[in-house]
Amino acid sequence: MQVDIIGGGLSGLATALSIKEHDSSVDVIVHEKHKRIGYNRDARKCGEAHSIESFSLKWKPPKDAIATPIYQGKITSGKKTYVFERKPDTAWILDRPAFISSLGKKAEKQGIEFVLNYKITDFTSLPGDIIVDASGCPSVVKKSLGLNQNFGYGFQQTIKNCSAYEDNTLKIIFDQNGGYYWIFPRHPENREMNIGIGLTINNNAKLPVLLEQFKKEHHITGTIDYTIGGLIPEGLQYPLRHKNIIFVGDTGVGTLPMNGQGIYRALLSGDIAGKYVVHRDLKGYAHEIIREFGRMDVIGKLLLRWNSFVYHINPNLVLASWNKYHSLNQKLSFFKSEYDTIH
Ligand SMILES: Cc1cc2nc3c(=O)[nH]c(=O)nc-3n(C[C@H](O)[C@H](O)[C@H](O)COP(=O)(O)OP(=O)(O)OC[C@H]3O[C@@H](n4cnc5c(N)ncnc54)[C@H](O)[C@@H]3O)c2cc1C
CA 18 to ligand 1 center in whole angstroms: 19
d(CA 269, CA 265): 6
Mean pLDDT of 202-206: 71
Mutate to test the pocket of ligand 1, among 10, 124, 149, 195 (most ligand atoms within 8 A of CB): 10
Mean pLDDT for 287-293 is 95
Distance 332 CA to ligand 1 centre (A): 31
Span of 124-133, 164-173, 260-269, 291-300 with lowest mean pLDDT:
291-300
Amino acid in position 137: C
In whole angstroms, give the CA distance from residue 1 to residue 135: 21
Note the pLDDT of residue 310.
86
Q: How far apart are CA 288 and CA 286, in angstroms?
A: 6
List the alpha helices (DSSP H) in 192-262: 207-217
Q: What is the pLDDT of residue 199?
A: 72
**Model pLDDT, residue 126:** 97
**Given a cut of 80, is residue 330 above it in pLDDT?**
no
What is residue 63's DSSP assignment? G
- What pTM, to 2 d.p., does this model score? 0.95
Q: 31 CB under 6 A from ligand 1?
A: yes
Dist. CA 175–CA 237, nearest whole Å: 25
pLDDT over 70 (residue 290): yes
So what's the pLDDT on residue 1?
97
Atom of ligand 1 nearest to the CA of 14: 25
Report the run of H or E that residue 134 belongs to, with start and end. Answer: none
pLDDT, average across residues 104-124:
97
121-158 burial, b at 16+ Cβ within 10 Å, e below that, comes to eebeebebebbbbbbbbebbbbeeeeeebebbbbbbbb
| pLDDT, mean of residues 154-163 | 96
Evaluate: CB of 4 within 6 angstroms of ligand 1: no
Nearest CA to ligand 1 atom 45: 7
* pLDDT value at residue 334: 66
Mean pLDDT of 282-296: 95
101 CA distance to ligand 1 middle (Å):
14
The number of residues making up the chain comes to 343
Ligand 1 contact via 250 beta carbon (within 6 Å): yes
pLDDT class for 258, splitting at 50, 70, 90? confident
179 within ligand 1 shell (Cβ under 6 A): no
The percentage of residues in the chain with a pLDDT greater than 70, rounded to a whole number, is: 97
Give yes or no for residue 230 CB within 6 A of ligand 1.
yes
Calculate how far, in angstroms, residue 33's C-alpha sits from the geometric centre of ligand 1: 13
C-alpha 153 to ligand 1 mean position (Å): 13
Instruction: Look at strands 2-6 and 27-31 and give their pairing.
Output: parallel
Ligand 1 proximity of 260 Cβ (cutoff 6 Å): yes
pLDDT at 333 over 70: no
What are 183-196's pLDDT values in tens digits? 999 999 999 999 99
Q: Is 45 in the pocket of ligand 1 (CB under 6 A)?
A: yes
Fold classification of 2-342 is FAD/NAD(P)-binding domain (3.50.50)
d(CA 242, CA 283): 10
Buried b (16+ CB within 10 A) or exposed e, 83-111: ebebeeebbbbbbbbbbbbbbbeebeeee
Q: Tell the burial category of 332 from Cβ atoms under 10 Å away from its Cβ (0-12, 13-18, 19+).
A: exposed
CA 43 to ligand 1 center in whole angstroms: 7
Closest CA to 329 of 340, 317, 318: 340
Alpha helix ranges (H) inside the chain: 10-22, 96-109, 140-145, 207-217, 263-277, 282-311, 316-332
Helix (H, G, I), strand (E, B) or coil at 266: helix
Evaluate: CB of 28 within 6 angstroms of ligand 1.
no
Ligand 1 and 233: CB distance under 6 A:
no
